[in-house]
Amino acid sequence: MANPANPAQFPIAQRDAFLIPSGPNLTEDQFHLFVVLTDPGKSNEVLMVNATTCYPNIPDDPSCYLEAGDHNFIQHRSYVLYEKSRKLSITKLRQLIAAKTIIFRPPPVNHAVFTRIGAAVPGSRMSPDHIDFFNRYR
């Protein structure tokens, strides 16, 4: 069994959720929930997408909406911001977890929500390179 205290062995899996900081003046509310979309057993990199809160009069990506409770971190209607998907090496992700730059946020996204997020990838604003990576390693 992997030892989460050892970053070299921290287990990474599809559907895992992480909090990643974003924004210029970081505060607790400036973390976004990111979900691992691809299978870490198939590549040394993973593709992650984030959930962003919906706000009136601010354009969003209508490809996939998430509702409060779709994950315990999501408190308001949100959308998956596919165009800001991130591809990270598993080694780098583990280093960022060990440095507490990225925070592991259990539980994993449930299967139904994960399926919804994945099904919206082809019609989303995700970059063509990331769509190709998703299709190869999901």
**Rounded distance between C-alpha atoms, residue 46 and residue 14, angstroms:** 9
Q: What average pLDDT does the segment 81-95 reach?
A: 95
pLDDT band at residue 75 using 50, 70 and 90 as cut-offs: very high
Q: What is the CA radius of gyration of the chain?
A: 14
Peptide bond into 107 cis (omega under 30): yes
- DSSP assigned state of 102: S
**Dist. CA 31–CA 26, nearest whole Å:** 8
pLDDT, tens only, 19-55: 998 766 656 567 889 999 999 999 999 999 999 999 9
Q: Which amino acid is at 3?
A: N
Instruction: Tell me what pLDDT residue 56 has.
Output: 93
Please report, rounded to a whole number, the percentage of residues in the chain having pLDDT higher than 70: 89
Q: Per the confidence metrics, is the pTM higher than 0.85? A: yes
pLDDT digits over 112-138, tens only?
A: 999 999 999 999 999 999 999 999 999
Domain boundary assignment for the chain: 7-137
Read off the pLDDT band of 1 (50, 70, 90).
Answer: very low
CATH 3.30.230.10 describes domain 7-137: no
pLDDT at residue 5 above 90?
no
Q: Return the structure tokens found at 95.
A: 């280093």
